[in-house]
Chains A and B, each alone.
Chain A
């Protein structure tokens, strides 16, 4: 059975596309297919590698690894006979400071808070210096300072010309930060600027009966596992 069908979109350098949709819409599936980790048919053209930030990081808090070690996985991916050089260390430290954790490099990864771990995983992806950054729900279960640091780092990457694909259930985030929105629910229900793609009809089509129109300016989406309250403009 297909989890996702007939998806077609383009990503411009420096652009942020938010992938939104209800649970089971295929947001994560799309990212994993782009990464080549799920069987898929179709074509995908990109100049360079993809950097990925998973929704759930490593669960083993006891693993003997520091924050800097984790970022080095991105700065100097393990390859036979390749050692970690000074350039890689410098790139890793720079990526850590981009997410506001410049002083935490020597701390054990397992001792960091959930938000800090998510920032370390983002720094690992930044250190790959890939032209496209894929993020799967990067703000789920992170505290406010981490949320700010993550969004600031993403904006800095965009300014550098990195294209960003961000899967999220947060419609307010998509509306305020995305250049374009890909509204998914098994297939593409809308693709375009937030004002168009997140219109009432498009959302009703994607979310079905699980959406409640509050007024002309706001929406509430009742999903299976989460509740989004979006009071943005242009609904």
Chain B
């Protein structure tokens, strides 16, 4: 028990835990909606666009998080605009935005901040989260949760049957834009803890872990939150007790949970098939 609770004696671990809660609530449901829209790769693009935004703001002595959100919002607008064009393929759009954003971001960082600070922008530094980070993150998380609460059905329907959604008056372009903007904000919440390169793990991972076990959108969105919390808390414990960098530890735990989830789902599926075959034999 002390293995679990000892870390909470320290203020930096308490703040890291709160940051994990904010990231799990902000990223999980939005990531699930993004996966349903088959835009997980666009999430990749937006997360890398956090880097140049953060770099510009940091070089002017401002908060990197809000610069990151602005960078991701700009990438979201560019992505949404390009997705509307029929003459450009979605994967090409995402690959372009992704590589250009990361290149510009790293170039700016190399010119303006020390290497250690650059690493924090790229891979996060959840143990250094302060009160201001938590307040900003809570505001962004509230906005993201509002978008999910109000728009999740329309977003899911647009992903399921885009053509039919238009026939009942849903403005699918607006829905895409709202989803991308919510994604940009959620990634902004995750930047301080996980950085531009690892934030995607908390965005897409929980939904991928949950997917084999749910048959409806609502439960999928809800399940991403405890799964994100579980991965975040386990990652912090591994970091505290074994000295791993916290962000990479969380991302690694997510990968392990994903493999475990899919492995167990495969076994369950095989057993139910063999039971079904035995009944019909």
Q: Which residues of chain A from 65 to 91 have any CB-CB distance to chain B below 8 Å in the complex?
A: 65-66, 69-70, 73-74, 77-81
Stretch at the interface among B105-113, B127-135, B157-165: B157-165
Bound Cα distance A80, B164 (Å): 18
Instruction: Judge whether A69 and B216 touch: CB under 8 Å.
Output: yes
Q: For chains A and B in complex, what number of residue pairs have CB atoms within 8 angstroms? A: 61
Instruction: Judge whether A58 and B161 touch: CB under 8 Å.
Output: yes
Instruction: Judge whether A64 and B157 touch: CB under 8 Å.
Output: no
Asked if B222 is at the interface of the complex by the 8 Å CB criterion, the answer is: no
- Closest residue of chain B to A110 (Cβ to Cβ) is B215
Q: Which residues of chain B from 34 to 65 have any CB-CB distance to chain A below 8 Å in the complex?
A: 36, 38
Instruction: Judge whether B214 and A64 touch: CB under 8 Å.
Output: yes
Partner of B154, one of A37, A50, A64, A78: A78
Bound Cα distance A35, B159 (Å): 20
Instruction: Judge whether A52 and B211 touch: CB under 8 Å.
Output: no
Q: How far is the CB of A1 from chain B (nearest CB, A)?
A: 17
Instruction: Judge whether B150 and A81 touch: CB under 8 Å.
Output: yes
Partner of A80, one of B36, B150, B159: B150
Asked if A9 is at the interface of the complex by the 8 Å CB criterion, the answer is: no
Asked if B168 is at the interface of the complex by the 8 Å CB criterion, the answer is: yes
Q: Given A69-B216, A80-B150, answer yes or no on A63-B167 (Cβ-Cβ < 8 Å).
A: no
Asked if B166 is at the interface of the complex by the 8 Å CB criterion, the answer is: yes
Q: Given A63-B159, A64-B211, A81-B150, answer yes or no on A35-B217 (Cβ-Cβ < 8 Å).
A: no
Bound Cα distance A65, B167 (Å): 20
When distances are taken between beta carbons in the complex, the residues of chain B under 8 Å from A60 are 38, 159-160
When distances are taken between beta carbons in the complex, the residues of chain A under 8 Å from B156 are 65, 78
The number of residues on chain A lying at the interface, defined by a beta carbon within 8 Å of a beta carbon of chain B, is: 26
Bound Cα distance A66, B153 (Å): 14
Asked if A108 is at the interface of the complex by the 8 Å CB criterion, the answer is: yes
Asked if A208 is at the interface of the complex by the 8 Å CB criterion, the answer is: no
A residues with a Cβ closer than 8 A to B are 35, 37, 49-50, 52, 54, 57-58, 60, 63-66, 69-70, 73-74, 77-81, 108, 121, 124, 128
Q: Known pairs A57-B161, A80-B150; list 13 more (Cβ under 8 Å).
A: A37-B163, A54-B163, A60-B160, A65-B217, A66-B215, A69-B217, A73-B157, A73-B160, A77-B168, A77-B169, A79-B154, A80-B151, A124-B164
- 28 CB-based A-B contacts, threshold 8 Å: A37-B166, A49-B168, A50-B167, A52-B167, A54-B164, A58-B161, A60-B160, A63-B36, A64-B217, A65-B156, A65-B160, A65-B217, A66-B215, A70-B160, A73-B157, A73-B161, A73-B168, A74-B168, A77-B170, A78-B153, A78-B156, A78-B157, A78-B170, A80-B150, A80-B151, A108-B215, A124-B164, A128-B168
The 6 closest A-B pairs by CB, nearest first: A78-B153, A78-B154, A58-B161, A52-B167, A80-B150, A77-B168
